[in-house]
Amino acid sequence: MIRTHDVLIVGGGLVGASLAIALDGLPLDVAMVEATPPGDLPAVFDQRNLSLAAASVNALGALGVMQELRAPAGPIRRIHISRAGDFGSVRLEASDYGREAFGQVVVARDFGEALEARLAQLPRLVRYRPARFVALEGDDGEARGVRLATAEGELQLRARLVVAADGTRSGLREALGIGTRTHDYGQTLFIARVRGERAPDGTAFERFTDSGPTALLPRGDRAFGVVHGVPTAQAAEVAALDEAGWLARIQQVFGWRAGRLVASGERSAYPIAAIVADELVAPRAVLLGNAAQTIHPIGAQGFNLGLRDALTLAELLRAHAGDPGEAALLQRHAQRRSEDRERTLAFSHGLARITGNASPLLRPLRSLGLLAADRAGWLQAWLVGGAMGFRGDVPELCR
């Protein structure tokens, strides 16, 4: 017999695992397809630094994930934004808004281990691992057929709702015939853990240059998480730098705002491109996270946006007693996600374009913008609301 699941989540990364946890307790037969075997974490859970917005921290705390973190998170108590060559800067203080922090910085691997600890507490969740999505079959009116490749051979399943949470190069999105819009930023992002002479004080620094954005994030282990964007043409040169040369490069970008940087861990490099799906839903299928939209990491919006995708779907399923793959339900999901998605995409893409433009004609306009954002209360409130994840139709758990 071919087993039928109410919800089949393809992808066990950040968003897929979060959705599985959010669906716990519902009268639904939920399963997850994971590429890695038991005991291993997906490759996405590496040394990258995740900047969790306050809305995400609220939701992950309610889901019991934050409590499973074994390493301390780093609170973001203030944000400092500037651009090399432009005058003016923006300084945002969480305490000015009655909050202890705008969000928290966690290491992706630590977060992956916390998610795995919570997943292990869900006795009803069915986990196919290691397994890989192969193909979709037609909709028979009650469910779609799904074929998986496993160590034991091909496995056939049926699912009333299939969730694509399988990342930027989503095989499920391709099988659904959903097209994408792609923009290559011509940049490569370098990630590392850097230690300074003094420990972080809760300030997250965002520094823009003609070459790309660089961020220093306050980790919970008394080190900084560095996110450094460079033109792809320079990536090999930056990768070849020794530790002293790498630290000198980051120090030159930031000056002495965070003190002297004295040591660095290994560097990882990732090309930057935006890939945005033309549709969020298809018959008995929905796209979440990077499968729905992979955006420029500027402003640390990506995972937070994907988590809100998952939480919105979970909230709708919690309030819906009927077929989880019902077309009207999926359309409500797409409608609820549209404002948050479009505003976040526009913010991310616009900020990447305007801050990376070296034209001297833009410098006075950018400088005036920085001065206005630092002094205009309404503009600061708008920036803070977006940075904390309170944009558009916010899922209840985020509040």
Q: Residue 306: give its domain's CATH number.
A: 3.50.50.60
Put simply, whether the predicted model's pTM sits higher than 0.85 gets the answer yes
* CA–CA distance, 142 with 27 (Å, rounded to integer): 17
Is the residue at 212 inside a domain? no
Structural Rg of the chain based on CA atoms = 21
In a domain, 242, yes or no: no
Per-residue exposure over 256-270, b if at least 16 CB sit within 10 Å of its own CB, e if not: eebeebeebeebebb
Within a 10 A sphere around the Cβ of 365, how many other Cβ atoms?
12
Q: Is residue 265 part of a domain?
A: no
Backbone angles phi, psi at 316, to 5 degrees: -65, -40
Does some domain include residue 306? yes
Asked, as a colleague might, if the bond just before 297 is cis with ω within 30 of 0, I would say no
Domain that holds residue 47: 3-181+273-398
Q: How many domains does the chain have?
A: 1
Among candidate residues 114, 83, 385, the one with its CA nearest the CA of residue 210: 83
Cα(307)–Cα(391) distance, rounded to whole angstroms? 13
Spatial distance between the Cα atoms of 368 and 352, rounded to a whole number of angstroms? 17
Which string of DSSP letters, residue by residue, matches 58-81? HHHHHTT-GGG-SSPPEEE-EEEE
Residue 7 near residue 31 (C-beta atoms within 8 A) = yes
- Which residues lie across from 268 on neighbouring strands? 191
17 belongs to a structural domain: yes
In a domain, 208, yes or no: no
Domain-located, residue 194: no
User: What pLDDT score does 368 carry?
Assistant: 45
Residue 122 lies in a domain: yes
Mind listing the pLDDT tens digit of every residue in the chain (399 residues)? 799 999 999 999 999 999 999 999 999 999 999 999 999 998 888 888 899 999 999 999 999 999 999 999 999 999 998 887 676 678 889 998 899 999 999 999 999 999 999 999 999 999 999 999 999 998 898 999 999 999 999 999 999 999 999 999 999 999 999 999 999 999 999 999 999 999 999 999 988 888 888 999 999 999 999 999 999 999 999 999 999 999 999 999 988 989 999 999 999 999 999 999 999 999 999 999 999 999 988 766 889 999 999 999 999 999 998 999 999 999 999 999 999 999 998 888 877 766 554 554 444 444 445 444 555 555 667 677 888 989 888 999 998
DSSP class per residue in 259-308: --EEEE---EEEEEEEEEES-SEETTEEE-GGGTEE---TTS-HHHHHHH
Helices 302-319 + 14-22 axis angle, to 10: 30
